[in-house]
């Protein structure tokens, strides 16, 4: 089954430059929460040698000397641009999995290789034209091959259809280093190298039983996927923990705000629990709603909106307050919703999270919140989920963090939309 992996090029930077034509072709970086370190680089910034994770204060002088445009992270903008890209992509396939904020797998069933190539080019052009975001498109018969094709496409014109049985496909796979394969971390690559397996080509031809014996089912799956046998399900691959998504389809269509509130409450509770379980805090949250796209006879409405948190948090009542406010803002009556979801973005380890200049964080208060959540989690763990849960949905405290170099919320805030002037 042919799959396309669509990946936005330098996504955060592309969102920033999209509304600043003066920066096109210039080096651009985006900083982490509270302007700590570099988390995204435009190709031009990469070419200058600015490393991922570069601390801003160490690189400040060089960034200035090199005329690098520096932005604070603007998750509200990225979340909204992501929603736009995903909306465009959904036109191309009935089965799609949004794998991360800037990547999606699309099933392209029933197409010839020539049609696949044309479709991949059309996806790239359409997303660019309609959203302004450049994407790379890789097509293969398995997720691993689609991912490989996508990586290879970046070295070319942004589109690559990989027929793993063609001579060109053989050449690409044979020359592809194992450590550049999706899901092959440094240690696995080193252990494969010990067996003399340095390329995807040699891994593909390796004995399945030997690989299974040494590397378990994870290794065997790599061999199968490289041979075009699809076995890598999305859930089985550990997603980069930059975001966390909780969503579920309803048993029946839902029209009332009150019921959507309950669904969102459940997702936020789960998300908060997951965050705390992994020692993470969210810098921003998004809420989205879906109507049934398989029923074109019904009115369609698929809103998504996000909001940045003043201080990254895993405290459920705070996450809940933001999510319910977003829900109120995006909800429209008169639609039959089939799904609601919550997205936590910009995840940071709790111990590394930084405070804000704009809100005093009381350590005693934070410790109280932490202990409250720990107690709730323990009760739910030992006595079953939902033993203790949220009764209220409101949490009134609205501050807004202005980061030093944050761009406008061009697409989500009326006061900040770009203005075109005619002289
Ligand atoms: Mg990307």
CA distance 102 to 81: 9
Q: Is the pLDDT of residue 63 over 90?
A: yes
Mean per-residue pLDDT, 7-24:
94
Each residue of 167-191: pLDDT tens digit?
999 999 999 999 999 988 778 899 9
pLDDT at 36: 78
Does the reported pTM lie above 0.75? no
Ligand 1 mean position to 11 CA, how many Å? 5
Ion ligand 1, residues whose Cβ is below 5 A away:
7-8, 11, 102
Q: Is the pLDDT of residue 193 over 80?
A: yes
Each residue of 66-88: pLDDT tens digit?
999 999 988 879 988 998 999 99
Ligand 1 mean position to 167 CA, how many Å? 28
> Domains in the chain, please, with CATH?
1-142 (3.30.70.270), 243-416 (3.30.1490.100)
Closest CA to 9 of 131, 95, 94, 111: 131
- pLDDT > 90 fraction of the chain, expressed in percent and rounded: 51
pLDDT at 241: 62
Ligand 1 mean position to 80 CA, how many Å? 16
Q: What is the dihedral of CA 12, 14, 17, 22, to 10 degrees?
A: 140
> What is each CA distance from 400 to 81, 203, 238, 298, 313, in whole angstroms?
20, 51, 33, 38, 15
Each residue of 343-382: pLDDT tens digit?
999 888 887 666 655 666 778 888 899 999 999 888 887 7
Ligand 1 mean position to 105 CA, how many Å? 13
Ligand 1 mean position to 396 CA, how many Å? 36
CA distance 409 to 305: 11
Q: Residue 103 catalytic?
A: yes
pLDDT at 402: 34
The beta-carbon contacts of 413-422 under 8 Å, at least 24 apart in sequence, are: 413/76, 418/19
**Which pLDDT band, with edges at 50, 70 and 90, does 401 fall under?**
very low
The answer to whether 314 touches 373, Cβ cutoff 8 Å, is yes
pLDDT at 110: 86
Mean per-residue pLDDT, 107-123:
92
pLDDT at 104: 94
Of 76, 103, 220, 269, which residue is the catalytic one?
A: 103
Residue 118 burial by CB count (10 A; 0-12/13-18/19+): exposed, middle or buried? middle
Each residue of 406-422: pLDDT tens digit?
888 888 777 788 888 77
Mean per-residue pLDDT, 14-39:
89
């Amino acid at each position: 089954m042919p799959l396309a992996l669509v990946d936005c090029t330098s996504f955060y930077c592309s969102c920033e430059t999209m509304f600043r034509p003066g920066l096109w072709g210039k080096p651009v970086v985006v900083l982490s929460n509270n302007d700590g370190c570099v988390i995204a680089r435009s190709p031009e910034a990469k070419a200058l040698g600015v490393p991922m994770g570069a601390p801003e204060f160490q690189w400040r002088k060089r960034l200035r000397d090199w005329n690098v445009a520096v932005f604070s992270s603007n998750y509200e903008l990225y979340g909204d641009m992501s929603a736009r890209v995903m909306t465009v992509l959904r036109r191309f396939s009935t089965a799609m999995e949004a794998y991360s904020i800037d990547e999606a797998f699309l099933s392209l069933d029933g197409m010839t290789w020539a049609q696949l190539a044309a479709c991949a080019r059309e996806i790239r052009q359409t997303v660019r034209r309609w959203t302004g975001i450049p994407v790379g498109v890789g097509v293969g018969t398995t997720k691993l091959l689609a991912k490989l094709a996508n990586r290879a496409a970046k070295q070319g014109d942004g589109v690559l259809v990989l027929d793993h049985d063609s001579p060109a496909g053989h050449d690409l796979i044979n020359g592809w280093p194992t450590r550049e394969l999706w899901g092959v971390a440094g240690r696995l690559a080193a252990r494969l190298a010990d067996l003399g397996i340095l390329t995807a080509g040699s891994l593909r031809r390796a004995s399945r039983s030997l690989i299974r014996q040494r590397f378990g089912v994870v290794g065997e799956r790599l061999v199968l996927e490289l041979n075009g046998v699809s076995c890598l399900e999305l859930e089985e691959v550990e997603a980069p923990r930059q975001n966390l998504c909780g969503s579920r389809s309803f048993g029946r269509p839902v029209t009332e705000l009150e019921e959507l509130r309950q669904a969102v409450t459940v997702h936020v509770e789960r998300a908060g629990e997951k965050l705390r379980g992994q020692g993470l805090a969210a810098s921003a949250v998004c809420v989205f709603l879906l109507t049934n796209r398989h029923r074109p006879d019904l009115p369609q409405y698929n809103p998504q909106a996000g909001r940045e948190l003043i201080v990254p948090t895993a405290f459920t009542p705070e996450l809940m307050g933001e999510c319910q406010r977003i829900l109120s803002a995006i909800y429209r009556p008169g639609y039959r919703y089939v799904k609601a979801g919550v997205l936590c973005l910009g995840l940071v380890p709790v111990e590394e999270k930084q405070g804000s200049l704009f809100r005093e964080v009381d350590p005693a208060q934070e410790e109280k919140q932490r202990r409250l959540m720990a107690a709730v989690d323990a009760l739910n763990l030992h006595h079953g989920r939902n033993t203790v849960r949220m009764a209220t949905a409101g949490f009134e405290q609205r501050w807004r963090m202005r980061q030093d170099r944050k761009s406008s919320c061009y697409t989500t805030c009326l006061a900040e939309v770009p203005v075109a002037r005619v002289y």
